[in-house]
Structure 1
Amino acid sequence: MTESSTAVIAQQYYEAMSVGDIPAGTALFGADIVWHQPGRNRFSGAHAGGPAVGALLGGMGAASEGTFELRFTGEPMVNGALAAIPVHFSGKREDVAMSMSGVDVLRVEGDKIVEMWLFSADQEAEDAFWGQA
């Protein structure tokens, strides 16, 4: 895996997700993707495989009443098969809102995203937004 192909896959993923094209974004996932969701909320933990990650993303969309937004705040920073991307994410539900910066790190193998780690600027606020199961 070259750094340039990692950058291309990372850019394709975040461009798709930034405009809400979930099918295009998740098409870049490897079959055995592992998604590491931070914190202590109903979505936290490691989610393995496409169906589990799809359920996670769908659950977040539902919990945010369709308002969850993700956007780039900088270019991918690449180191071999890893890419770190500064992001801003937000959502609203009922009378609760969340808006913060973060960093998403993804690992690419064979032109597929095989692992993701998410980092939030204010994990306590994110946990409060998503709530417990």
Structure 2
Amino acid sequence: MTTSTPASVAATYFSALGQGDIPTVMAQFSETVVWNQPGANQFSGTHHGLDGVGALLGGMMEASQGTFQLAVTGPAMVNGDLVAVPVRFTGQRADASMDMAGIDLLTIKDGKIVEAHLFSENSEAEDAFWGRA
């Protein structure tokens, strides 16, 4: 059995996310994952477990009419179990678009993502795109 490092788990997660490989994305999460989504929009707040995170990601794809994308824009920065990754995320729908930078901070233990904290450069614009809570 091989041991996954935090950096390799993060790399697998972001690669799968970029390819739209949702089964591989979800396989990187602990069953008890905690996802902290910023802002004051319909997706903001803390989401728990695989079902909660799956519903969140599915809701974002639905709200963006399938256009939501996230791309890594720089090297992962590792500090023990923490991996910070600079990203750019975009989405469009008939009446709005979003394109901004952010940081995804993952806590990875025992080869699984156990917690995610997301940061965006413009929370007001992100809230406007997703729809305020």
Q: TM-score normalized by structure 2?
A: 0.95
Report what 1:11 is aligned to: 11
Deviation at 1:102, TM superposition (A): 0.2
Report what 2:132 is aligned to: 132
Identity rate, percent: 55
1-side partners of 2:67 and 2:120: how far apart? 18
**Uncovered stretches (5+) of structure 2, i.e. residues with no partner:** none
2-side partners of 1:124 and 1:25: how far apart? 27
Deviation at 1:17, TM superposition (A): 0.3
* SS of residue paired to 2:86: strand
Question: Aligned runs of 1:54-93 on 2, under 5 Å?
Answer: 54-93=54-93
1-side partners of 2:19 and 2:126: how far apart? 22
**Uncovered stretches (5+) of structure 1, i.e. residues with no partner:** none
Give the CA RMSD over aligned residues.
1.0
Residues 75-116 of structure 1: CA distance to partner in whole angstroms, max 9, x if unpaired?
A: 110000000000000000112000000000000010000000
Deviation at 1:60, TM superposition (A): 0.2
Deviation at 1:132, TM superposition (A): 2.9
2-side partners of 1:76 and 1:15: how far apart? 12
Q: TM-score normalized by structure 1?
A: 0.95
Aligned pairs, how many? 130
